[in-house]
Amino acid sequence: MNFKNALEQVCYETAVKVCGGTVSVEHNKTLTIATAICREVASFAGPPKKEIDVITARLRENPALDLLISCKQFDDHKAEPAHVQEWSAVVDTMNKYAKDTAYLGMVVCPSGFTKGCEPWATTYNLALIPPLKGNDMVFPPERSIVMFERVLRALKKRLSFPYENILSPPEFYDFAFRLTSDFEGHELSDTTGIRYVLTKTAWKSSFGELVSDLMGKEIVDILATANYTGLRFVDGTVFRFTGKAIAFGPDDQQEKAFQTPACKKNLTMDECTFEDMKAYAIGQNIRSAGDFGTYFEFGISNDINIGFHLGAIHAISTKNPPDENKL
């Protein structure tokens, strides 16, 4: 199979991954866009003919619904209203003359869209990938493919429910926007590097998610190996501090050989034993959390803060005055 460019190839392969063998690519397909009285075109020589390159993905049968995808690969500029307008005319014409098949349209342009594209996309119900977010944010090109796959997967499942509203402008535009707009938060979190990760999936996470996931949980064990220190909770979830990264979530059985950590207590960092640490922590619930960079500290329900370093654990009573409330 021939492809016009790398973007078309990767979009096709992604669509095949989601929709199976119902995806096709056509090049230089001739389409009579509309009559000259139609407002989007004006011609002195009768209805204009357009040559288009299109990826068609059949999303469902009986009644049939096809997604017409236009791939715009521009290295140094964004797609302009004319590109979206052209695809609007294509999808509109296809719907106008279709007997049993409904068509939805999508334009994928990893370099983004200029602001004037939005009115055309909303009026003609086209999905734009990446989304127009009203700021100057530029998504990495590969992220557009992730967005494309996300929208396709969600759309396939969405069509198993009544979907007539999706066919009316601007519902499909909005649907794709809702599924892709949260990439902004994901991109912005990239700037701080990957500090928090979920166990099992290795998905990037955040301090906020860690807190909402672990808050209130009861500690059943303290973990300590050469690679991390951490906690195990009553519901089987774990917390692991490795120095640079913090992993939490369902236990993915990465247990390594136990290695006794250095154990310190009180503000004066007095020596204590691992058994002391267990006695302080086990059976208590998480009440607060703080990431101090080189170590991570939890506030637990017996008014103790327990801190995790790589190879060490500390415990400090939070009761005042500190000298009279030493552990």
Partner 1 sequence: MAFPIEQLVIVGPDGKRIDVEKMTEKLRQDEKRVLIDDELGVVIYVGDLDLYSLKPLENGEYLAQKLREISRPRFSTQLVRHQIGPTVFSMTADTVFLIREEEMIKKVRADKLKKGITLANGDKVFS
Contact residues for partner 1 (CB under 8 A)?
A: 118, 133-135, 150, 153-154, 157-158, 160-162, 165, 178-179, 181-186, 188-189, 201, 203-206, 209
Nearer to partner 1, 213 or 291 (CB): 213
* Chain centroid offset of residue 109 CA: 18
CA distance 308 to 298: 9
Nearer to partner 1, 143 or 314 (CB): 143
Task: Output the six-digit token pair for 55.
Answer: 């990826």
Count Cα atoms within 13 angstroms, Cβ side, for 11.
31
CA distance 249 to 14: 30
- Residue 135, Cβ density class (10 Å: 0-12 exposed, 13-18 middle, ≥19 buried): exposed
Burial of 62-101, coded b for 16+ CB within 10 Å and e otherwise, reads: eeebbbbbbbbbeeeebbebebbbbbbbbbbbbbeeeeee
Nearer to partner 1, 40 or 209 (CB): 209
Nearer to partner 1, 209 or 218 (CB): 209
Least distance in angstroms from the C-beta of 24 to partner 1: 25
Nearer to partner 1, 169 or 283 (CB): 169
Least distance in angstroms from the C-beta of 191 to partner 1: 12
**What residue spans of 98-235 are helical by DSSP H?**
117-123, 141-158, 171-180, 183-190, 207-214
Nearer to partner 1, 58 or 153 (CB): 153
**What residue spans of 102-140 are helical by DSSP H?**
117-123
CB proximity list for 126: less than 8 A, separation 6 or greater: 84, 87, 88, 91, 105, 106, 107, 120, 172, 173
Least distance in angstroms from the C-beta of 291 to partner 1: 17
The β-bridge partners of 316 are: 305
Nearer to partner 1, 44 or 161 (CB): 161
Least distance in angstroms from the C-beta of 76 to partner 1: 26
Least distance in angstroms from the C-beta of 118 to partner 1: 8
Least distance in angstroms from the C-beta of 203 to partner 1: 4
Nearer to partner 1, 149 or 251 (CB): 149
CB proximity list for 208: less than 8 A, separation 6 or greater: none
Least distance in angstroms from the C-beta of 197 to partner 1: 11
CB proximity list for 66: less than 8 A, separation 6 or greater: 56, 57, 58, 59, 101, 102, 103, 104
- Residue 129, Cβ density class (10 Å: 0-12 exposed, 13-18 middle, ≥19 buried): buried
Nearer to partner 1, 179 or 272 (CB): 179
Report the residue count for the chain: 327
Least distance in angstroms from the C-beta of 184 to partner 1: 5
Least distance in angstroms from the C-beta of 38 to partner 1: 26
Torsion sign (Cα): 144, 209, 307, 221: negative
